[in-house]
Structure 1
Amino acid sequence: MSQVSRHYVLAAGGTGGHLIPAFALAAELDRRGHHVALITDERGAAIPGKPDFLPAHVLPPGRIAGKNPVNWLKGARGILDGRQMALRLFDSFEPSAVVGFGGYPAMPTLLAATAARIPTVLHEQNAVLGRVNRYFAGKVDAIATSCEEVDRLDPRHAGKVTLVGNPVRSEVLTLRDEPFPDFTEDSLFRILVTGGSQGARVLSQVVPDGLAMLPPALRSRLQVIQQCRPEDIEAVRERYASHGIPAELATYFEDMDQRLASAHLFIGRAGASTIAELTAVGRPAILIPLPIATDDHQAANTREIVAAGGARSIRQEGFTGATLAKQIQAMAQHPETLANAAHAAWNCGYPNAARDLADLVESFGAAPIMDVIRMDRKATPANGNEALAREPAL
């Protein structure tokens, strides 16, 4: 029996952490013959990596934050305006389900979906349920999680929860079956350092000096690739040069998946997408959770991979050159130690996350008779309905 084409709306905040899994789900649903639309904010619409087939609809900002009542009113107005815009999209696009990936732009879309009685699914990337997902947890049909243990998830909603993992980019997932790079007592020791899309200043300040504190036999084999902020890059370059450590520095690496594939050790933040990619490929890591992350969710994100032996976690207040050097020595003093950590990280991965999330989303949707009606519309479009299905407009 052929797959019936349906329509789905994905709503995600304007950061890579929310949008990368949304893009992965969109690609899987498109592969299955469905039509997908994305609702996000201006930042999200501009993030690289959005599939060409995926139309993006920008909602007004609707974040209620701070102590200024004027900002509350502006935020509330943005949410209400966004809700109306989403309802107009639903009228033309007729989604079988709406999937929220968290972030404030998802709020008006989910409000519209619950008002229109459209089935809704939440996906939580982090080990702490985000604020928007917390608000809707009791109202949606299903909650997909990326971790076995998720903080701030009300036990009353346990019956809605399905563990699927966090979908990653296809180019990263293809690396899962490649072996860990050869690491012997004589080989190069390749370290990849990143701090998210904008880099992390603390990494630029600490990592070069920490690597310089390694024993000469290990330090002489180093080959470093580091992402830095534009304003930091020259100072970091000078610091590595003063230590005699070869380092390739850039503000952005287009081939980050290949850099990760060749790395023996990763040093960086503990965002949800970072953890998902490390465990998909199987790379050991030293993680420094962002201390200002909401609900300290980056620290929670490290629990599973650290417990498995695939990573070490250092709180930023204790992140010094000496501490970093000590942790690197513990992981790399014997070739098999690093390889074992890589395997432990690999075992924490969820390579079928996009498939399993798509299966969950497909389980909620229009009744079979509506699928037949929709297929009839595709076969005999009238008044531009087919164009609306493929290119919906708010």
Structure 2
Amino acid sequence: IIIAGGGTGGHLYPGIAVAKEFQKRYKDIEILFVGTVNGIEYRVLPKEGYRLETIRIAGFIGKGFLKKIATLFMLPFSLIDSFRILNRFKPQCVIGVGGYASGPLVLSAAFMRIPNVILEENVVPGATNRLLSYFTKKAAVAFEDTKRFLRNGADVVVVGNPIREEIYKKGSQKSDRFTLLIFGGSLGAHTINMKMVEAIDYLKEFKEKIKIIHQTGEADYSLVKDAYNKAGFDAEVMPFIYDMATAYANADLVVCRAGATTVAELTACGKAAILIPFPFATHNHQEMNARALSEAGAGEMMLNKDLSGRILADRIIYYLNNRSKIEEMEKKSMSLGKRDAASKMADLCEGLVSYV
């Protein structure tokens, strides 16, 4: 199997979930990930024990004129790289998980008549998957509404958003101290980081009752870590959390963005959350995700434009003093969770390969 794409955790981790499902089914399976040297896959996959090969490609949508020209120049080389990888590895199936690295691989697989499928994690698909839907054998989506954005007549199957089994298998491992998990996606979120630093002053009188686990991204790591240390908080601050399963298991409350993979993980393990959707997400899909959880009673939505350190601190203190409210949100969150998407995705791929 080749799993192509990545760039961010929202694309990569569903691919890892599918890889692990295949490894449960076939002990001798060979799995190769294909991405770029600039994506999150370059540092995550070696730690996960997966082999990665890279191709020469960069992003196009939302880039400046010169970067777009550079990307167009790289396209022939990315296709050459892709054909070489496919000829050498000879996969029975190619899975595109989104992100610009998936485009050349899935397109090349289609030309070589290798069974292939794309996975779209968001309600509104990205440009790469929209284009690939004209060439791919099947498209797997997380939401029914996504079907209308892909090509007419595309063989589209709703499977959900694949989640790594360990994310929800650990269950709850809460301690006596109120544990707050904060992250803004795989690259961090500057706004959330800065508002949390502002919130420290309002949380000082509660610091003996609170433990903080905070993924900052690289840029804000030192600033945030120093702020917690100076205020005397028990805070575990990291640029990137590799063991999210333990972080979720320890958390009483999560403060985070509302990307599709994050929402799927929250509901799979039944976590209460303050959701702060990224305001510039394509088609505002993060606000739609956050609003859905909020209306279901599984989380609280706070818009980026309304966020302040004082407001964030007030909501954290509210949940600290109202644990029964967290328990209610956890039950609602758990009821929304879908844990079988990776299995459905593996079934779909097996169906494409008649001799599996």
Counterpart of 2:255 in structure 1 is 267
Question: Per the alignment, in what secondary structure is the counterpart of residue 149 of structure 2?
Answer: coil
Give the partner amino acid of 1:204: N
Structure 1: distance between partners of 2:103 and 2:225: 43
Cα deviation, residue 261, structure 1 = 0.7
- What RMSD, in angstroms, separates the aligned Cα atoms of the two structures? 3.1
Q: Give 3-state SS (helix, strand or coil) of 1:302's partner.
A: helix
Partner Cα distance (2:201, 2:252) in 1:
18
Are the counterparts in 2 of residues 9 and 97 from structure 1 also a CA contact under 8 Å?
A: yes
- TM-score between the two structures when normalised by the length of structure 1: 0.77
Q: Secondary structure at the match of 2:352?
A: coil
What secondary structure sits across from 1:118 in the alignment?
coil
Letter in 2 for 1:79: L
For 1:58 and 1:230, the matched residues in 2 are separated by: 23
Tell me: CA distance 1:239–1:160, structure 2 relative to 1, closer, same or farther (3 Å).
same
Deviates more, 1:313-322 or 1:288-297: 288-297
Partner Cα separation in structure 2 for residue 171 and residue 56 of structure 1: 22
Q: CA deviation at 1:304?
A: 3.5
The alpha-carbon deviation at position 192 of structure 1 amounts to 1.2
Q: Secondary structure at the match of 2:77?
A: helix
Question: Which residue does 1:168 correspond to in 2?
Answer: 163
Contact conserved, 2:258 with 2:289, CA < 8 A, in 1?
Answer: yes
| 1:323-338 equivalences in 2 (<5 Å) | 323-328=311-316, 331=319, 333-338=321-326
| Aligned residues with identical type, % of pairs | 29
The residue number in structure 2 matching 1:143 is: 139
Aligned residue pairs, count: 352
Q: Residues 270 and 301 of structure 1 are in contact (CA less than 8 Å); yes or no, is this contact kept in structure 2?
A: yes
Match of 2:333 in 1: 345
How far is 1:232 from its partner? 4.1
Find the counterpart in structure 1 of residue 345 from structure 2. Answer: 357
1:282 to 257, 266, 270: 270
Equivalent residue number for residue 82 of structure 2: 86
**Rg larger in 1 or in 2?**
1
The corresponding residue for 2:8 is 15
Contact 2:60/2:68, CA 8 A, preserved across alignment: yes
What secondary structure sits across from 1:102 in the alignment? coil
Query: 1:128·1:297 contact (CA, 8 Å) conserved in 2?
Result: yes
| Structure 1 counterpart SS, 2:344 | helix
Structure 1 residues 40-79: aligned runs within 5 Å: 40-44=35-39, 45-50=41-46, 54-65=50-61, 66=63, 68=65, 71-79=67-75
The separation in 1 between residues aligned to 2:233 and 2:89, in whole angstroms, is 56
Residue deviations 1:102-145 (CA, integer Å, cap 9, x gap): 11111111221222233321111223211111112233222212
Q: Does the CA contact (< 8 Å) of 1:121 and 1:143 recur in 2?
A: yes
Shift of 1:223: 2.4
Contact 2:276–2:290 under 8 Å retained in 1: no
Q: Displacement, 1:72?
A: 4.3
- Which residue number in structure 2 is paired with residue 35 of structure 1? 30
**Separation of aligned partners in 1, 2:91 and 2:241:** 36
Which runs of 5 or more residues in structure 1 are unaligned?
1-7, 372-394
TM-score (norm 2): 0.85
For structure 2, list consecutive stretches of 5 or more residues without a partner in the other structure.
none
AA partner of residue 352 (structure 1): D
Are the counterparts in 1 of residues 107 and 135 from structure 2 also a CA contact under 8 Å? no
The alpha carbon displacement at 1:208 in A equals 4.2
Give the counterpart letter for 2:37 in structure 1.
E
C-alpha contact 1:126 1:298 (8 A) present in aligned 2: no
Amino acid at match of 1:173: Y
With over 3 angstroms needed to count, the CA separation of the structure-2 counterparts of 1:361 and 1:151, relative to structure 1, is closer
C-alpha separation in 1, matches of 2:79 and 2:197: 48
Q: For the Cα contact (< 8 Å) 1:129–1:151, is it kept in 2?
A: no
Instruction: Look up the equivalent residue of 1:106 and give its one-letter code.
Output: S
**Aligned counterparts of 1:50 and 1:300: Cα–Cα separation in 2:** 34
Contact 2:13 2:164 in 1 (8 A): yes
Q: Tell me which moved more, 199-208 or 352-361.
A: 199-208
Shift of 1:253: 4.1
Pick from 312, 320, 333 the counterpart of residue 300 of structure 2: 312
Whole-angstrom distance in 2 between the partners of 1:296 and 1:235:
29
